Structure 1
Amino acid sequence: MMKPEKLRYLIMTIDPVHVGTGGYRLGRVDNAIVREPGTNLPKIPGTSLHGAIRSAASMRYGMPESSGQRPQGTPAKNPIVYTFGAGEDGGFSSGVVSIYDARILLFPVASHDGPVWITTAPVLREAGFTGGEAPSQQYSVLLAGTLQGIETGFAVGWLMLNIERQNISLSAPSEGNWQDQPALKEALSRVVIVHESLFSEMVNSGLEVRTSVAIKPETGAAEDKALFAYEAIPRATFLFFDAVIDDYHGGQQVNFPNFEYDGLKPAGPADVLSHGLDLLEYLGVGGMGTRGFGRIAVVGEPISSKNPGGAA
Structure 2
Amino acid sequence: MVQLYKQQRFIFMALDPVHIGTGQTRIGRVDNTIVRETGTNIPKIPGTSLMGAARSYSSLVYGKPEAAGQHLKLKPEERKNCPIVYTFGTYNNGNNDAVAGQQGKISISDAQILFFPVYSMAGPVWVSTSKILALADFQVNGLISSADDVLHTSLKWSKETLNLGWLHLKAKNGLIVKPPGEIENKKEWESIKQRIVIVSIKLFSQIVNSNLEVRTSVAINPETGAAEDGALFTYEAIPRATWFWSDVVQDDYTSEFPKTKKQFTARGENSGEELPSEWNSPLDVVKSGFEVMEFLGIGGMTTRGFGRVKCIADREV
TM-score, scaled to structure 2: 0.90
CA-CA distance at 1:188 after TM superposition: 2.1
Equivalent position to 2:214, from 205, 209, 213: 209
Match of 1:269 in 2: 282
CA distance in 2, matches of 1:18, 1:196: 24
CA-CA distance at 1:150 after TM superposition: 2.6
Residues 210-237 of structure 1: per-residue CA shift (max 9 Å, x gap)? 0000111222111111000000000000
CA-CA distance at 1:160 after TM superposition: 1.1
Question: Matched residue of 1:299: which SS?
Answer: strand
CA-CA distance at 1:168 after TM superposition: 1.5
Could you tell me whether the CA contact under 8 Å between 2:11 and 2:244 is conserved in 1? yes
Q: Does 1:184 align with 2:189?
A: yes
CA-CA distance at 1:201 after TM superposition: 0.5
Q: Does 1:3 align with 2:4?
A: yes
Report matched runs for 1:17-166 at 5 Å.
17-70=18-71, 72=74, 74-89=78-93, 90-132=99-141, 133=143, 135-146=145-156, 148-151=157-160, 153-163=161-171, 165-166=172-173
Percent identity between the two aligned chains? 45
Report matched runs for 1:243-282 at 5 Å.
243-250=248-255, 252-253=256-257, 256-258=258-260, 260-261=262-263, 262-264=273-275, 265-282=278-295
Could you tell me whether the CA contact under 8 Å between 1:134 and 1:195 is conserved in 2? no
Question: Matched residue of 1:243: which SS?
Answer: strand
Equivalent position to 2:307, from 275, 285, 294: 294
Could you tell me whether the CA contact under 8 Å between 1:2 and 1:247 is conserved in 2? no
Note closer, same or farther for the CA distance 1:293–1:135 as it changes in structure 2 (3 Å cut).
farther
CA distance in 2, matches of 1:51, 1:197: 33
- Number of aligned pairs? 296
Question: Matched residue of 2:38: which SS?
Answer: coil
CA distance in 1, matches of 2:17, 2:130: 25
TM-score, scaled to structure 1: 0.91
Could you tell me whether the CA contact under 8 Å between 1:70 and 1:87 is conserved in 2? no
Could you tell me whether the CA contact under 8 Å between 1:119 and 1:193 is conserved in 2? yes
Note closer, same or farther for the CA distance 1:221–1:259 as it changes in structure 2 (3 Å cut).
same
Question: Matched residue of 1:224: which SS?
Answer: strand
Kindly report the root-mean-square deviation, in angstroms, between the aligned alpha carbons of the 2 structures.
1.5
CA-CA distance at 1:134 after TM superposition: 7.6
CA-CA distance at 1:196 after TM superposition: 1.0
CA distance in 2, matches of 1:119, 1:280: 24
Structure 1 unaligned spans of 5+: 306-312
CA-CA distance at 1:258 after TM superposition: 4.8
Could you tell me whether the CA contact under 8 Å between 1:77 and 1:258 is conserved in 2? no
Which stretch shifts more, 25-34 or 129-138? 129-138
CA-CA distance at 1:155 after TM superposition: 1.5
State the AA in 2 paired with 1:257: K
State the AA in 2 paired with 1:67: A
CA distance in 2, matches of 1:69, 1:103: 29
State the AA in 1 paired with 2:123: G
